[in-house]
Amino acid sequence: MKKPTKKLKASKELEETLVQTGLKIAKRGEGALFVVGKVKYKELIDQSIPSFKAVDNPKLLESLALIDGAVIIDRNGFVKAYGAMITSTATFKNFGTRHSAALTASQSKGNIVVIVSEEDKKVRILKEGKMIMQLDALQKNVEQSVSQAVGILESVGVGTIGTIGTSLLVPSLGLTLLPGVIVFGSAYYLGKLLSEKFGR
């Protein structure tokens, strides 16, 4: 009898590395796309750099992210490809091709996607086809909120990702618990989070 395979998910350390790297890139007014998990892609450039663990070399990760295309990372945290083109099957309303590729990649079960917008200097995190968090790179000391933000991100499970779609980017439709960080999700999840954080 075959043992059930355990589904791997991105580690908190990997998520923090991606968000911190994304904030650095956003502050400079550049864009990037990180996909953790499985996604169909086409390599746009020769992959001359061997696979490496993203958390062990954030400077190299940052350099690769600046190449046109996505950085693909497996759930063990190893960079598998860079300069990768993801064929979009979904449209991220009011945004460009990078956001549409991010939305497409986030729809695969278990994937987590971090997108850095050069236009508005925001870092957005997508999961299961929905934007669940947004960080403002221009917010003073936002880097200090990353660990807590990822902690909140870790608690967002399949049943708690809300019905708020990707087109709702207005802060009043999300919940700001940390400076520069907006959490999007269902009323149930946000209410539970509030009562846990402030209700004791």
Sheet holding 122-127, edge to edge: 42-43, 79-85, 70-73, 32-36, 112-116, 122-127, 130-136, 181-183, 175-178
Amino acid at 76: N
Please tell me the predicted confidence (pLDDT) of residue 133: 83
Please tell me the predicted confidence (pLDDT) of residue 131: 83
Strand, helix or coil for residue 162 = coil
**Average confidence (pLDDT) per 10 residues, the chain, 200 residues:** 46 91 94 95 92 96 95 96 90 82 91 92 89 85 76 54 35 52 55 49
Q: Nearest Cα to 62, choosing from 89, 30, 39?
A: 30
Give the DSSP H/E element, type plus range, for residue 122: strand 122-127
Question: What burial letters (b/e) apply to 5-29, b meaning 16+ CB within 10 Å?
Answer: eeeeebbeebbbbbbbbbbbbbeee
- Residue with structure tokens 């908190």? 12
**Residue 49, CA distances (Å) to 45, 68, 76 in order:** 11, 16, 18
Q: Nearest Cα to 25, choosing from 115, 131, 155?
A: 115
Q: Nearest Cα to 72, choosing from 100, 43, 45?
A: 43
For the domain made up of 12-198, give the CATH fold: YojJ-like (1 (3.40.1700)
Please tell me the predicted confidence (pLDDT) of residue 145: 72
d(C-alpha 106, C-alpha 93), whole Å: 15
Please tell me the predicted confidence (pLDDT) of residue 174: 52
Listed in sequence order, the DSSP H helices in 28-112 are 58-65, 97-106
Please tell me the predicted confidence (pLDDT) of residue 158: 37
Please tell me the predicted confidence (pLDDT) of residue 36: 96
Please tell me the predicted confidence (pLDDT) of residue 87: 85
Please tell me the predicted confidence (pLDDT) of residue 74: 96
- Give the domain ranges of the chain: 12-198
The answer to whether 124 and 117 are in contact (CB under 8 A) is yes
